[in-house]
């Protein structure tokens, strides 16, 4: 039990335990703490319950193993999935009414058979109305302007590149919400549908019946779409169809699993997308990470160590004059109850925005390496994701320590 959490972590006997009350309390506390995930993990002797908060695991409770079936059954009933199925993974989504804010919270559940029982993970998708505008996604001014211009396009393909856990679904969903769905015909294929968007034609992947990204894209072009959102480009067939849709005057939004903006271009070429199609179709790649945000209640000025000053200078001097950089101030936390003595509370995005300007065309056509593409993009004023993080450190939104983890 984490001593910073005021939770009674005793073993609870099955015959005196109200599972309904317990689970309601678990959901309530997780939402209050802005947990992104709830992990329920069976072991040989007990059931471990952990929250992921700001990217880190916090121990919530440890229950006697006799309670495993009670917890599992209760969750399966709530999520309306098969109670007697414990040999295969299952998933589902439910809407939980959060009374304190009179708001609905989507909770996605996934089960996975393990040695002792089933592991359950619940992803909490709290609808955050503060993300209605692009500014709330945390873009610095120069990147925000690039994104605004790119989203005015009536065709092209725009990609969000991400490693696991970067909230690409949040970014893509709130980009979609900047379009008036009554002005455009907007269709999405998602896996799964995480955010409900009014007047948008949202569809769920069902591979068991052959309803995949590629089959959906083939059918969709006959639905007179203006904006198409493909949840993820996973294979050459989906990639080619998405690029071809962009070339036939559709705006295509999608995600791809890569570690940088430049590597995204290389990844599509390696998949087998013809470079001449990519040159004609690609408009923008946004690479993002979700990192820790400094606690607003206990942050204070921090003098960098010499090794930190050297690294910060090396990274930022191409975009900030060295003399100006000397006057930059940074911060760290000084511990407080609000952040459970961790310095950090909440998370924020770091971005890298690559615009496919003319300088990239010969590099793509010649299948140049991602490193050369990256250097060319930097020469043409692409702010790297590490530079973006350090700029936010100067704004006291995060710490240099967090920003330098991106190197």
Name residue 302's beta-bridge partners: 330
**DSSP single-letter state for residue 206:** B
Three-state DSSP class for 46?
A: strand
Please give the radius of gyration of the chain, using alpha carbons only, rounded to the nearest integer.
23
Residue 6 pLDDT:
37
The CA distances from residue 145 to 134, 142, 148, 149, 152, in Å, are 10, 5, 5, 6, 11
Give the Cα separation of 31 and 255 in Å (integer): 27
pLDDT tens, position by position, 278-334:
999 999 999 999 889 999 999 999 999 999 999 999 999 889 988 888 889 999 988
Query: CA 369, 374, 380, 383: dihedral to nearest 10 degrees?
Result: 170
Q: What pLDDT was estimated at residue 286?
A: 94
The one-digit pLDDT tens for each residue of the chain (407 residues) are: 343 433 344 444 444 368 888 999 999 999 988 898 999 999 988 899 999 988 889 999 999 888 888 899 999 999 999 999 989 999 888 888 888 777 788 899 999 999 988 999 999 987 655 545 677 788 999 999 999 999 998 889 999 997 766 677 778 887 888 889 999 999 998 887 877 788 999 998 888 888 888 888 888 878 899 999 998 898 999 999 999 999 988 999 999 999 899 999 999 999 999 999 999 999 999 999 988 999 999 999 999 999 999 999 999 988 998 888 888 999 998 888 888 888 888 889 999 999 999 999 999 999 999 999 999 999 999 999 999 999 999 999 999 999 999 88
352 φ, ψ to 5°?
Answer: -140, 115
Is 217 in contact with 242 (CB distance < 8 Å)? yes
The count of other CB atoms within 10 Å of the CB of residue 124 is 20
Angle at 293 between CA 61 and CA 101, to 5 degrees: 60
Answer yes or no: are the C-beta atoms of 360 and 278 closer than 8 Å: no
3-class DSSP assignment, residue 229? strand
Residue carrying structure tokens 């007047």: 199
Q: Would you give the DSSP letter of residue 67?
A: G
Question: Cis bond leading into 377, ω under 30°?
Answer: no
Check if the beta carbon of residue 186 is closer than 8 Å to that of residue 226.
yes
Can you give the pLDDT at residue 127?
63
Sole residue written with tokens 């209050």: 32
List the beta bridge partners of residue 252: 157, 228
pLDDT at 173: 81
Closest CA to 325 of 247, 240, 400: 400
* Whole-number pLDDT of residue 177: 82
What pLDDT, on the 0 to 100 scale, is given for residue 17? 66
- Residue 263 CA to residue 122 CA, distance in Å, equals 31
**288 — alpha (psi -120 to 50), left (phi > 0) or beta?**
beta
**DSSP secondary structure letters along 135-189:** GGGT--HHHHHHHHHHTT-SSEEEEEE--TTS-HHHHHHHHHTTS-TTTS-EEEE
pLDDT at 178: 82
Rounded CA-CA distance 206/195 in Å is 18
Taken in order of first residue, the domains within the chain and their CATH numbers are 14-126 (3.30.450.90), 129-406 (3.40.50.300)
| Cα gap 213→253, rounded to integer Å | 13
For 243-288, what is each residue's pLDDT tens digit?
999 998 899 999 999 989 999 999 999 999 999 999 999 999 999 9
């Amino acid at each position: 039990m984490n001593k910073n959490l005021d939770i009674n972590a005793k073993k609870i006997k099955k015959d005196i335990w109200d599972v309904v009350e317990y689970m309601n309390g678990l959901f309530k506390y997780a939402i209050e703490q802005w947990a992104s995930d709830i992990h329920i993990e069976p072991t040989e002797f007990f059931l471990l319950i952990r929250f992921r908060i700001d990217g880190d695991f916090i121990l919530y409770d440890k229950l006697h193993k006799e309670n495993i079936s009670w917890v599992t059954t209760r969750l399966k009933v709530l999520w309306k999935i098969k109670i007697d199925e414990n040999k295969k993974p299952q998933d589902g989504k439910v809407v939980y009414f959060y009374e304190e804010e009179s708001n609905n919270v989507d909770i996605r559940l996934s089960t996975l058979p393990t040695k002792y029982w089933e592991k359950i993970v619940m992803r909490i998708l709290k609808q955050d109305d503060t993300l209605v505008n692009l500014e709330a996604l945390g873009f610095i001014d120069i990147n925000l302007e690039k994104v605004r211009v790119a989203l005015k396009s009536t065709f092209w393909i725009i990609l969000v590149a991400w490693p696991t856990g970067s909230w690409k679904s949040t970014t893509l969903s709130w980009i979609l919400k900047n379009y008036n769905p009554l002005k455009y015909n907007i269709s999405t294929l998602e896996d799964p549908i995480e955010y409900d968007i009014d007047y948008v034609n949202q569809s769920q992947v069902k591979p068991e019946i052959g309803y995949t990204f590629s089959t959906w894209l083939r059918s969709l072009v006959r639905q007179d779409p203006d904006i198409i959102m493909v949840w993820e480009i996973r294979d050459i067939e989906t990639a080619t169809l998405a690029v071809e849709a962009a070339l036939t005057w559709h705006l295509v939004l999608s995600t791809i699993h890569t570690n940088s903006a430049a590597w995204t271009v290389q990844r599509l070429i390696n998949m087998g997308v013809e470079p001449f199609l990519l040159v004609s179709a690609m408009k923008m790649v946004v690479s993002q990470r979700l990192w820790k945000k400094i606690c607003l209640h206990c942050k204070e000025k921090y003098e960098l160590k010499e090794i930190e000053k050297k690294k910060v200078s090396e990274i930022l001097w191409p975009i900030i004059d060295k003399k100006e950089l000397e006057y930059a101030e940074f911060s760290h936390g000084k511990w407080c109850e609000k952040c459970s003595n961790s310095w950090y509370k909440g998370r924020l995005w770091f971005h890298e925005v690559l615009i496919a300007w003319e300088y990239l065309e010969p590099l793509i056509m010649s299948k140049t390496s991602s490193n050369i593409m990256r250097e060319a993009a930097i020469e043409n004023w692409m702010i790297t994701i590490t530079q973006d993080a350090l700029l936010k450190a100067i704004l006291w939104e995060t710490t240099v320590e967090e920003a330098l983890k991106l190197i």
